[in-house]
Structure 1
Amino acid sequence: MESSGILIGLIIVGLFTVMCCGQVSQELSSDETQLSQQEAEKDLVEAMAVLLGRYQTHLPSTEKRGIAQCAMGSRCAVRLGPRIGKLCDCGRGSNCNSFLLKCI
């Protein structure tokens, strides 16, 4: 009787020890995975910066040749009889309204 009570007590203490150690290792592993993910992201950002630096000259320019950029609300075209001539090109997110002849 007495030996079975000691055996059950030892088993319970052993289970609590295993459970407590498992919780600590899970917390450490989640911290370690967050740190490794942050390091991996930093490495990827550095690699992309190097690639962009290398291929910056190969990227097409955003400016159109020969036509200046217009500000929002300024005149972008002129009527020349039945035709419309361009004065400048509207920036991103806007276009030249053919009725008002302004960047909208």
Structure 2
Amino acid sequence: MESVRAAVYLSVCLSVLTSLCQGQRSADNPLPAAPDEPVLRLAEALQGFLDEADSSAGLSMEKKASVIPRCDVGERCAMKHGPRIGRLCDCLRGAACNTFFLRCY
């Protein structure tokens, strides 16, 4: 996801830089003025790319369950898997998960 964001930022910076540099051409080497149509096409393409990236990012965020629910005091907060302990939920502020009883206290 970070690489997509970096590519989008880079392309936006390059497009802004090229549009600013077009106004800085020297008078002794005049080039024909470019129509605004390619700039509009670039803007539309970038907008489509951003919309596509946002829609795919939303799907990947739904698949990931990175938010751990909260547990009340006395509820089971972990589960033992052999030598490892897996977290089921996060205890409320002021409470902690007891690793022997596997409950919030």
TM-score (norm 1): 0.38
Structure (1 or 2) with the greater helix fraction: 1
TM-score (norm 2): 0.37
